[in-house]
Amino acid sequence: MPASVVVGTQWGDEGKGKATDYLADRMDLVVRYQGGNNAGHTILAEGHTLKLQLIPSGILYPHITSVIADGVVVDPRVLLEEMDGLAAVGVDPSRLMVSGNCHMIMPYHLELEKVTERFLGKNALGTTKRGIGPAYGDKAARIGLRIQDLFDEKIFREKLDVALREKNLVLTRVYGRLPLTVGLIVDDYMRYAERLRPHIADTSKLIHEALREGKNVLLEGAQGTMLDLDKGTYPFVTSSNPVTGYALASAGIGPREVERVIGITKAYVTRVGAGPFPTEDHGPGGERLGTLGQEFGTVTGRKRRCGWFDAVILRYAARVNGLTELFVTKLDVLSGFPTLKVCTSYRAEGETFEDVPSNQSLFHAAEPVYEELAGWDEDLTGARSIEDLPGAARAYLDRLADLVGVPISVVSVGPGREQSLPAA
Ligand code: GDP
Protein backbone atom coordinates (compact mmCIF):
# COMPACT_ATOMS: atom_id res chain seq x y z
CA MET A 1 0.00 0.00 0.00
CA PRO A 2 1.27 3.45 -0.82
CA ALA A 3 2.10 6.54 1.14
CA SER A 4 0.25 9.86 0.75
CA VAL A 5 1.59 13.30 1.52
CA VAL A 6 -0.44 16.25 2.84
CA VAL A 7 1.27 19.53 2.04
CA GLY A 8 0.29 23.17 2.50
CA THR A 9 0.28 25.06 -0.81
CA GLN A 10 0.24 28.65 0.41
CA TRP A 11 1.75 30.37 3.48
CA GLY A 12 0.50 27.85 6.03
CA ASP A 13 -2.76 27.76 8.01
CA GLU A 14 -4.55 26.20 5.02
CA GLY A 15 -6.40 23.77 7.29
CA LYS A 16 -3.97 20.86 7.03
CA GLY A 17 -5.03 19.67 10.47
CA LYS A 18 -8.58 19.30 9.32
CA ALA A 19 -7.59 17.65 6.05
CA THR A 20 -5.35 15.14 7.81
CA ASP A 21 -8.09 14.38 10.28
CA TYR A 22 -10.51 13.72 7.40
CA LEU A 23 -8.08 11.45 5.55
CA ALA A 24 -6.94 9.70 8.73
CA ASP A 25 -9.99 7.48 8.70
CA ARG A 26 -8.36 5.31 6.01
CA MET A 27 -4.83 5.53 7.39
CA ASP A 28 -2.80 3.27 9.68
CA LEU A 29 0.12 5.58 10.30
CA VAL A 30 0.17 9.38 10.35
CA VAL A 31 3.66 10.84 10.26
CA ARG A 32 4.60 14.44 10.99
CA TYR A 33 7.73 15.25 8.96
CA GLN A 34 9.00 18.78 9.72
CA GLY A 35 8.68 21.88 11.88
CA GLY A 36 8.19 21.91 15.60
CA ASN A 37 5.59 23.16 18.04
CA ASN A 38 4.81 26.05 15.71
CA ALA A 39 2.26 24.26 13.57
CA GLY A 40 -0.88 24.72 15.61
CA HIS A 41 -3.41 22.43 14.00
CA THR A 42 -6.91 22.97 15.27
CA ILE A 43 -9.20 19.97 15.20
CA LEU A 44 -12.83 19.86 16.09
CA ALA A 45 -13.83 16.32 16.93
CA GLU A 46 -16.30 14.67 19.25
CA GLY A 47 -17.17 17.96 20.92
CA HIS A 48 -13.59 18.89 21.75
CA THR A 49 -11.51 21.61 20.14
CA LEU A 50 -7.98 20.30 20.27
CA LYS A 51 -4.93 22.39 19.52
CA LEU A 52 -2.04 20.16 18.57
CA GLN A 53 1.25 21.83 17.83
CA LEU A 54 3.51 18.82 17.60
CA ILE A 55 1.60 15.55 17.79
CA PRO A 56 0.05 14.44 14.46
CA SER A 57 -3.72 14.85 14.47
CA GLY A 58 -4.16 11.15 13.66
CA ILE A 59 -3.75 10.53 17.40
CA LEU A 60 -7.50 11.10 17.72
CA TYR A 61 -8.16 7.79 15.97
CA PRO A 62 -7.62 4.68 18.10
CA HIS A 63 -6.54 2.61 15.06
CA ILE A 64 -3.72 4.98 14.09
CA THR A 65 -0.09 4.99 15.12
CA SER A 66 1.13 8.58 15.19
CA VAL A 67 4.75 9.17 14.34
CA ILE A 68 7.09 12.12 14.74
CA ALA A 69 9.84 11.60 12.17
CA ASP A 70 13.51 12.64 12.14
CA GLY A 71 13.00 16.03 10.49
CA VAL A 72 10.86 17.47 13.30
CA VAL A 73 12.49 19.45 16.11
CA VAL A 74 11.03 18.48 19.46
CA ASP A 75 10.74 20.48 22.65
CA PRO A 76 10.34 17.55 25.06
CA ARG A 77 8.58 19.67 27.66
CA VAL A 78 5.96 20.75 25.13
CA LEU A 79 5.58 17.21 23.79
CA LEU A 80 4.85 15.86 27.27
CA GLU A 81 2.40 18.68 27.95
CA GLU A 82 0.54 17.86 24.74
CA MET A 83 0.42 14.18 25.69
CA ASP A 84 -1.00 15.12 29.10
CA GLY A 85 -3.53 17.40 27.41
CA LEU A 86 -4.72 14.54 25.21
CA ALA A 87 -4.97 12.16 28.15
CA ALA A 88 -7.03 14.77 30.02
CA VAL A 89 -9.74 14.68 27.31
CA GLY A 90 -9.67 10.88 27.13
CA VAL A 91 -7.37 10.45 24.10
CA ASP A 92 -4.76 7.74 24.66
CA PRO A 93 -1.31 9.10 23.73
CA SER A 94 0.44 5.73 24.09
CA ARG A 95 0.34 5.12 20.31
CA LEU A 96 2.72 8.00 19.68
CA MET A 97 6.15 7.03 18.35
CA VAL A 98 9.01 9.50 18.15
CA SER A 99 12.28 9.14 16.26
CA GLY A 100 15.40 9.11 18.41
CA ASN A 101 17.02 11.14 15.61
CA CYS A 102 14.81 14.18 16.21
CA HIS A 103 16.78 17.19 17.33
CA MET A 104 15.67 18.76 20.57
CA ILE A 105 14.78 22.33 21.32
CA MET A 106 16.87 23.33 24.32
CA PRO A 107 16.29 26.18 26.80
CA TYR A 108 19.07 28.25 25.17
CA HIS A 109 17.30 28.05 21.80
CA LEU A 110 14.28 29.79 23.29
CA GLU A 111 16.43 32.35 25.02
CA LEU A 112 18.53 33.07 21.95
CA GLU A 113 15.57 33.42 19.62
CA LYS A 114 14.01 35.97 21.93
CA VAL A 115 17.10 38.14 22.08
CA THR A 116 18.08 37.86 18.42
CA GLU A 117 14.59 38.85 17.26
CA ARG A 118 14.80 41.88 19.53
CA PHE A 119 18.25 42.67 18.13
CA LEU A 120 16.93 42.58 14.54
CA GLY A 121 14.44 45.35 15.41
CA LYS A 122 12.32 46.26 12.41
CA ASN A 123 13.99 43.47 10.41
CA ALA A 124 12.73 40.82 12.85
CA LEU A 125 11.38 37.74 11.10
CA GLY A 126 8.33 37.52 13.32
CA THR A 127 9.13 33.99 14.45
CA THR A 128 6.97 32.12 16.95
CA LYS A 129 9.84 32.33 19.50
CA ARG A 130 9.63 28.64 20.28
CA GLY A 131 13.33 28.06 19.61
CA ILE A 132 12.65 26.21 16.39
CA GLY A 133 14.93 28.23 14.07
CA PRO A 134 17.90 28.07 16.47
CA ALA A 135 17.39 24.30 16.93
CA TYR A 136 17.49 23.73 13.15
CA GLY A 137 20.52 26.03 13.01
CA ASP A 138 22.38 23.86 15.52
CA LYS A 139 21.33 20.73 13.63
CA ALA A 140 23.01 22.10 10.48
CA ALA A 141 26.01 23.29 12.51
CA ARG A 142 26.25 19.77 13.99
CA ILE A 143 26.13 20.83 17.59
CA GLY A 144 22.51 19.83 18.16
CA LEU A 145 21.32 17.37 20.81
CA ARG A 146 19.08 14.55 19.66
CA ILE A 147 16.41 12.70 21.59
CA GLN A 148 18.56 9.57 21.65
CA ASP A 149 21.19 11.55 23.59
CA LEU A 150 18.75 11.64 26.51
CA PHE A 151 19.27 7.97 27.20
CA ASP A 152 22.93 8.22 28.15
CA GLU A 153 23.32 10.89 30.79
CA LYS A 154 27.11 11.05 30.38
CA ILE A 155 26.87 11.72 26.64
CA PHE A 156 23.99 14.16 27.14
CA ARG A 157 25.98 16.11 29.72
CA GLU A 158 29.09 16.20 27.52
CA LYS A 159 27.23 17.44 24.46
CA LEU A 160 25.32 19.99 26.49
CA ASP A 161 28.54 21.22 28.01
CA VAL A 162 30.07 21.80 24.58
CA ALA A 163 26.97 23.60 23.30
CA LEU A 164 26.58 25.76 26.41
CA ARG A 165 30.18 26.90 26.35
CA GLU A 166 29.46 28.82 23.16
CA LYS A 167 25.81 29.68 23.85
CA ASN A 168 26.56 31.15 27.25
CA LEU A 169 29.27 33.37 25.80
CA VAL A 170 26.82 34.70 23.23
CA LEU A 171 24.05 35.13 25.79
CA THR A 172 26.20 36.94 28.32
CA ARG A 173 28.69 38.91 26.22
CA VAL A 174 26.60 39.79 23.18
CA TYR A 175 23.16 40.10 24.66
CA GLY A 176 23.90 40.83 28.34
CA ARG A 177 21.76 37.91 29.59
CA LEU A 178 22.44 35.49 32.42
CA PRO A 179 24.22 32.22 31.58
CA LEU A 180 22.35 28.89 31.75
CA THR A 181 23.59 26.10 34.00
CA VAL A 182 24.27 22.56 32.81
CA GLY A 183 23.01 20.95 36.01
CA LEU A 184 19.53 22.44 35.90
CA ILE A 185 19.03 21.51 32.26
CA VAL A 186 20.28 17.96 32.88
CA ASP A 187 17.82 17.52 35.77
CA ASP A 188 14.86 18.63 33.67
CA TYR A 189 15.84 16.65 30.56
CA MET A 190 16.54 13.45 32.50
CA ARG A 191 13.01 13.65 33.89
CA TYR A 192 11.66 14.06 30.35
CA ALA A 193 13.76 11.10 29.23
CA GLU A 194 12.06 8.71 31.63
CA ARG A 195 8.62 9.63 30.38
CA LEU A 196 9.60 9.64 26.70
CA ARG A 197 11.46 6.33 26.71
CA PRO A 198 8.47 4.09 25.81
CA HIS A 199 7.69 6.30 22.80
CA ILE A 200 11.09 6.25 21.12
CA ALA A 201 11.45 4.08 18.02
CA ASP A 202 13.37 3.60 14.78
CA THR A 203 10.58 5.36 12.91
CA SER A 204 12.09 4.93 9.45
CA LYS A 205 12.01 1.16 9.94
CA LEU A 206 8.53 1.35 11.42
CA ILE A 207 7.23 3.24 8.37
CA HIS A 208 9.03 0.94 5.95
CA GLU A 209 7.57 -2.17 7.61
CA ALA A 210 4.09 -0.65 7.63
CA LEU A 211 4.32 -0.03 3.88
CA ARG A 212 5.58 -3.60 3.28
CA GLU A 213 2.62 -4.93 5.27
CA GLY A 214 0.22 -3.06 2.99
CA LYS A 215 -0.69 -0.38 5.48
CA ASN A 216 -1.63 3.19 4.56
CA VAL A 217 0.80 5.87 5.60
CA LEU A 218 0.01 9.58 5.62
CA LEU A 219 2.91 12.01 5.76
CA GLU A 220 1.79 15.30 7.22
CA GLY A 221 3.67 18.57 6.77
CA ALA A 222 3.37 21.77 8.71
CA GLN A 223 3.41 25.38 7.44
CA GLY A 224 3.25 25.70 3.64
CA THR A 225 5.17 25.65 0.37
CA MET A 226 5.72 29.43 0.26
CA LEU A 227 7.32 29.22 3.71
CA ASP A 228 9.75 26.49 2.62
CA LEU A 229 13.38 27.23 3.50
CA ASP A 230 14.47 26.55 -0.10
CA LYS A 231 11.33 26.99 -2.16
CA GLY A 232 9.62 29.83 -0.27
CA THR A 233 10.05 33.58 0.00
CA TYR A 234 13.41 33.51 1.80
CA PRO A 235 14.18 34.95 4.36
CA PHE A 236 10.49 35.26 5.32
CA VAL A 237 10.21 31.52 5.66
CA THR A 238 10.25 28.79 8.24
CA SER A 239 13.52 27.06 9.17
CA SER A 240 12.64 23.69 7.61
CA ASN A 241 11.20 22.26 4.38
CA PRO A 242 7.43 21.73 4.16
CA VAL A 243 7.65 20.53 0.51
CA THR A 244 7.01 16.90 -0.44
CA GLY A 245 10.68 16.11 -1.07
CA TYR A 246 11.50 16.59 2.57
CA ALA A 247 8.72 14.25 3.66
CA LEU A 248 10.77 11.45 2.10
CA ALA A 249 14.07 12.50 3.66
CA SER A 250 12.48 12.84 7.09
CA ALA A 251 10.43 9.65 7.03
CA GLY A 252 13.26 7.74 5.37
CA ILE A 253 11.40 6.31 2.37
CA GLY A 254 11.92 6.51 -1.39
CA PRO A 255 9.79 8.52 -3.87
CA ARG A 256 8.19 5.46 -5.42
CA GLU A 257 6.31 4.74 -2.19
CA VAL A 258 4.24 7.92 -2.63
CA GLU A 259 1.06 7.71 -4.65
CA ARG A 260 -0.96 10.78 -3.66
CA VAL A 261 0.31 14.27 -2.95
CA ILE A 262 -2.60 16.27 -1.57
CA GLY A 263 -2.20 20.03 -1.70
CA ILE A 264 -4.22 21.80 0.98
CA THR A 265 -5.35 25.19 -0.19
CA LYS A 266 -7.65 27.82 1.20
CA ALA A 267 -10.24 29.21 -1.20
CA TYR A 268 -8.47 32.54 -0.60
CA VAL A 269 -4.99 33.30 0.80
CA THR A 270 -3.58 34.33 4.17
CA ARG A 271 -0.11 35.00 5.45
CA VAL A 272 1.32 35.62 8.91
CA GLY A 273 4.29 37.92 9.35
CA ALA A 274 6.35 39.87 6.84
CA GLY A 275 7.24 39.08 3.21
CA PRO A 276 5.74 39.32 -0.28
CA PHE A 277 2.03 38.60 -0.71
CA PRO A 278 0.85 39.88 -4.12
CA THR A 279 -2.89 39.28 -3.65
CA GLU A 280 -3.13 40.86 -0.20
CA ASP A 281 -6.26 43.02 0.15
CA HIS A 282 -5.68 45.96 2.50
CA GLY A 283 -9.28 47.15 2.12
CA PRO A 284 -12.66 45.99 3.39
CA GLY A 285 -12.44 42.74 1.34
CA GLY A 286 -9.38 41.61 3.27
CA GLU A 287 -10.95 42.71 6.57
CA ARG A 288 -14.05 40.68 5.81
CA LEU A 289 -12.05 37.56 4.91
CA GLY A 290 -10.11 37.90 8.17
CA THR A 291 -13.21 38.35 10.30
CA LEU A 292 -15.36 35.65 8.72
CA GLY A 293 -12.44 33.26 8.36
CA GLN A 294 -11.29 33.94 11.94
CA GLU A 295 -7.81 34.47 10.63
CA PHE A 296 -5.80 34.63 13.81
CA GLY A 297 -2.77 32.41 14.44
CA THR A 298 -3.45 29.28 16.51
CA VAL A 299 -0.07 29.52 18.19
CA THR A 300 0.53 33.26 18.45
CA GLY A 301 -2.97 34.79 18.14
CA ARG A 302 -1.53 37.16 15.53
CA LYS A 303 -3.87 38.61 12.94
CA ARG A 304 -3.22 37.05 9.54
CA ARG A 305 -2.90 39.15 6.38
CA CYS A 306 -5.70 38.21 3.96
CA GLY A 307 -6.21 38.34 0.21
CA TRP A 308 -7.52 36.64 -2.91
CA PHE A 309 -6.84 33.22 -4.37
CA ASP A 310 -3.54 33.25 -6.20
CA ALA A 311 -3.33 30.71 -9.03
CA VAL A 312 0.30 31.68 -9.69
CA ILE A 313 1.55 30.41 -6.33
CA LEU A 314 -0.74 27.39 -6.60
CA ARG A 315 0.75 26.41 -9.97
CA TYR A 316 4.16 26.78 -8.37
CA ALA A 317 3.12 24.62 -5.39
CA ALA A 318 1.72 22.02 -7.80
CA ARG A 319 5.05 21.91 -9.62
CA VAL A 320 7.48 21.83 -6.69
CA ASN A 321 5.44 19.29 -4.72
CA GLY A 322 4.13 17.15 -7.58
CA LEU A 323 0.53 17.63 -6.41
CA THR A 324 -1.92 14.98 -7.58
CA GLU A 325 -5.01 16.68 -6.11
CA LEU A 326 -6.28 19.72 -4.21
CA PHE A 327 -8.17 19.80 -0.92
CA VAL A 328 -9.89 23.20 -0.87
CA THR A 329 -10.80 24.59 2.56
CA LYS A 330 -12.90 27.47 3.87
CA LEU A 331 -15.07 27.90 0.79
CA ASP A 332 -17.87 28.90 3.21
CA VAL A 333 -15.97 32.08 4.12
CA LEU A 334 -16.51 33.46 0.59
CA SER A 335 -20.33 33.60 0.84
CA GLY A 336 -21.75 37.10 0.51
CA PHE A 337 -19.13 38.70 -1.73
CA PRO A 338 -20.84 40.07 -4.89
CA THR A 339 -17.77 39.10 -6.93
CA LEU A 340 -14.59 37.15 -6.16
CA LYS A 341 -11.16 38.00 -7.45
CA VAL A 342 -8.78 35.31 -8.61
CA CYS A 343 -5.20 36.14 -9.55
CA THR A 344 -4.18 34.51 -12.83
CA SER A 345 -0.75 36.13 -13.39
CA TYR A 346 1.49 38.94 -12.14
CA ARG A 347 2.81 42.14 -13.70
CA ALA A 348 6.23 43.36 -12.62
CA GLU A 349 8.57 45.84 -14.32
CA GLY A 350 6.50 45.83 -17.48
CA GLU A 351 6.51 42.04 -17.82
CA THR A 352 3.80 39.42 -17.29
CA PHE A 353 4.59 36.40 -15.10
CA GLU A 354 2.54 33.22 -15.28
CA ASP A 355 4.85 31.62 -12.70
CA VAL A 356 6.40 32.87 -9.46
CA PRO A 357 9.35 35.08 -10.47
CA SER A 358 12.58 33.43 -9.37
CA ASN A 359 14.09 36.83 -8.63
CA GLN A 360 12.80 37.94 -5.28
CA SER A 361 12.82 41.68 -6.04
CA LEU A 362 10.41 40.97 -8.88
CA PHE A 363 8.21 38.92 -6.55
CA HIS A 364 8.13 41.82 -4.09
CA ALA A 365 7.11 44.15 -6.92
CA ALA A 366 4.53 41.75 -8.42
CA GLU A 367 1.09 43.25 -9.06
CA PRO A 368 -1.71 40.70 -9.37
CA VAL A 369 -3.70 40.43 -12.61
CA TYR A 370 -7.24 39.51 -11.55
CA GLU A 371 -10.15 37.78 -13.12
CA GLU A 372 -13.51 38.45 -11.43
CA LEU A 373 -15.92 35.58 -10.85
CA ALA A 374 -19.53 35.73 -9.71
CA GLY A 375 -20.07 35.38 -5.97
CA TRP A 376 -22.97 33.72 -4.10
CA ASP A 377 -25.03 34.64 -1.05
CA GLU A 378 -26.02 31.19 0.19
CA ASP A 379 -24.56 29.90 3.45
CA LEU A 380 -22.51 26.82 2.49
CA THR A 381 -21.92 25.37 5.94
CA GLY A 382 -24.91 23.02 5.73
CA ALA A 383 -23.83 21.46 2.41
CA ARG A 384 -23.14 17.72 2.69
CA SER A 385 -22.27 17.04 -0.93
CA ILE A 386 -20.87 18.99 -3.84
CA GLU A 387 -24.34 18.96 -5.42
CA ASP A 388 -25.63 21.04 -2.47
CA LEU A 389 -23.37 23.95 -3.45
CA PRO A 390 -24.81 26.84 -5.49
CA GLY A 391 -23.81 27.00 -9.17
CA ALA A 392 -21.54 30.02 -8.66
CA ALA A 393 -19.56 28.21 -5.92
CA ARG A 394 -19.11 25.19 -8.18
CA ALA A 395 -18.06 27.43 -11.07
CA TYR A 396 -15.52 29.10 -8.75
CA LEU A 397 -14.05 25.70 -7.82
CA ASP A 398 -13.97 24.56 -11.46
CA ARG A 399 -12.11 27.71 -12.42
CA LEU A 400 -9.53 27.21 -9.63
CA ALA A 401 -8.83 23.64 -10.70
CA ASP A 402 -8.56 24.80 -14.30
CA LEU A 403 -6.11 27.60 -13.54
CA VAL A 404 -3.93 25.36 -11.35
CA GLY A 405 -4.15 22.31 -13.61
CA VAL A 406 -4.78 19.93 -10.69
CA PRO A 407 -8.15 18.31 -9.87
CA ILE A 408 -9.99 19.08 -6.63
CA SER A 409 -10.72 15.96 -4.55
CA VAL A 410 -12.32 17.45 -1.43
CA VAL A 411 -14.00 20.76 -0.61
CA SER A 412 -14.39 21.92 2.97
CA VAL A 413 -17.23 24.23 4.03
CA GLY A 414 -16.69 24.43 7.79
CA PRO A 415 -14.48 23.21 10.59
CA GLY A 416 -16.47 20.02 11.36
CA ARG A 417 -15.63 16.53 10.07
CA GLU A 418 -18.98 16.27 8.28
CA GLN A 419 -18.26 19.51 6.40
CA SER A 420 -15.67 17.93 4.08
CA LEU A 421 -17.31 17.14 0.74
CA PRO A 422 -15.76 14.62 -1.66
CA ALA A 423 -15.53 16.30 -5.05
CA ALA A 424 -14.20 13.53 -7.26
P1 GDP B 1 -3.34 24.28 9.62
O2 GDP B 1 -2.21 24.80 10.43
O3 GDP B 1 -3.06 24.25 8.15
O4 GDP B 1 -3.89 22.98 10.13
O5 GDP B 1 -4.51 25.31 9.76
P6 GDP B 1 -5.21 25.73 11.11
O7 GDP B 1 -5.74 24.52 11.78
O8 GDP B 1 -4.38 26.71 11.85
O9 GDP B 1 -6.37 26.60 10.50
C10 GDP B 1 -7.46 26.10 10.13
C11 GDP B 1 -8.57 26.75 10.93
O12 GDP B 1 -9.67 26.87 10.10
C13 GDP B 1 -9.04 25.92 12.09
O14 GDP B 1 -9.55 26.73 13.09
C15 GDP B 1 -10.12 25.06 11.49
O16 GDP B 1 -11.07 24.59 12.41
C17 GDP B 1 -10.72 26.01 10.52
N18 GDP B 1 -11.22 25.39 9.30
C19 GDP B 1 -10.68 24.36 8.60
N20 GDP B 1 -11.41 24.12 7.50
C21 GDP B 1 -12.41 25.04 7.49
C22 GDP B 1 -13.48 25.33 6.60
O23 GDP B 1 -13.66 24.71 5.56
N24 GDP B 1 -14.29 26.39 6.93
C25 GDP B 1 -14.12 27.13 8.06
N26 GDP B 1 -14.96 28.13 8.29
N27 GDP B 1 -13.14 26.87 8.91
C28 GDP B 1 -12.29 25.85 8.65
Tell me if 298 CB under 6 Å of ligand 1: yes
Residue 88 binned pLDDT confidence (cut-offs 50, 70, 90): confident
| Residue 108 CA to ligand 1 centre (angstroms) | 32
Q: Which residue has the higher pLDDT, 190 or 20?
A: 190
Give pLDDT, residue 298.
67
Are 408 and 325 spatial neighbours (Cβ–Cβ below 8 Å)?
A: yes
Tell me if 413 CB under 6 Å of ligand 1: yes
Looking only at the bridges linking them, the beta strands covering 200-201 and 258-266 are unpaired
Looking only at the bridges linking them, the beta strands covering 96-99 and 200-201 are parallel
- Taking the alpha carbons of 333, 339, 343, 347 in that order, is the dihedral positive or negative? negative
| Residue 15 CA to ligand 1 centre (angstroms) | 4
Which of 329, 315, 232, 240 shows the shortest CA–CA distance to 274?
232
41 annotated active-site: yes
Average pLDDT estimate for 107-112: 94
| Best of 14, 18, 303 for a ligand 1 pocket test (most atoms within 8 Å of beta carbon) | 18
Give pLDDT, residue 52.
81
Give pLDDT, residue 170.
95
Question: What distance in Å separates the CA atoms of residue 4 and residue 149, rounded to the nearest whole number?
Answer: 31
Question: pLDDT tens, 38-57?
Answer: 877 766 656 667 778 899 88
Question: pLDDT tens, 207-261?
Answer: 999 999 999 999 999 999 999 999 999 999 999 999 999 999 999 999 999 999 9
Q: Which positions ≥6 away from 174 have C-beta within 8 Å? A: none
Exposure letters 137-174 (e unless 16+ CB within 10 A, then b): ebbeeeebbbbebbeeeeebbebbeebbeebbeebeee
Average pLDDT estimate for 188-196: 97
Give pLDDT, residue 389.
97
Question: What distance in Å separates the CA atoms of residue 21 and residue 24, rounded to the nearest whole number?
Answer: 5
CA quadruple 236, 333, 24, 2: dihedral, nearest 10: -60
User: Among residues 13, 70, 138, 332, which one is catalytic?
Assistant: 13
Tell me if 32 CB under 6 Å of ligand 1: no
13 annotated active-site: yes
Tell me if 13 CB under 6 Å of ligand 1: yes
Residue length, the chain? Answer: 424
Which of 41, 6, 11, 5 shows the shortest CA–CA distance to 310?
11
| Residue 153 CA to ligand 1 centre (angstroms) | 41
Question: pLDDT tens, 372-387?
Answer: 999 999 999 999 999 9
CA quadruple 151, 153, 157, 163: dihedral, nearest 10: 0
The 8-class DSSP code of residue 170 comes to: I
Q: Whose CA is nearest to atom 23 of ligand 1?
A: 330
Closest atom of ligand 1 relative to the 414 alpha carbon: 24
**What mean pLDDT is reported for the chain?**
93
Question: pLDDT tens, 149-170?
Answer: 999 999 999 999 999 999 999 9
Give pTM, 2 decimals. 0.93
Residue 294 binned pLDDT confidence (cut-offs 50, 70, 90): very high
Q: Which residue has the higher pLDDT, 138 or 124?
A: 138
Give pLDDT, residue 1.
63
Looking only at the bridges linking them, the beta strands covering 29-32 and 65-68 are parallel
| Residue 263 CA to ligand 1 centre (angstroms) | 14
pLDDT at 286 over 90: yes
Of the candidate ranges 5-9, 84-88, 164-168, the one whose mean pLDDT is the lowest: 84-88
What percentage of the chain reaches a pLDDT higher than 90?
80
Give pLDDT, residue 393.
98
Q: Which residue has the higher pLDDT, 342 or 86?
A: 342
Largest CA distance in the chain: 66
Give pLDDT, residue 91.
87
pLDDT at 309 over 70: yes
Q: Which helix (H) or strand (E) is 290 found in, with range? A: helix 284-292
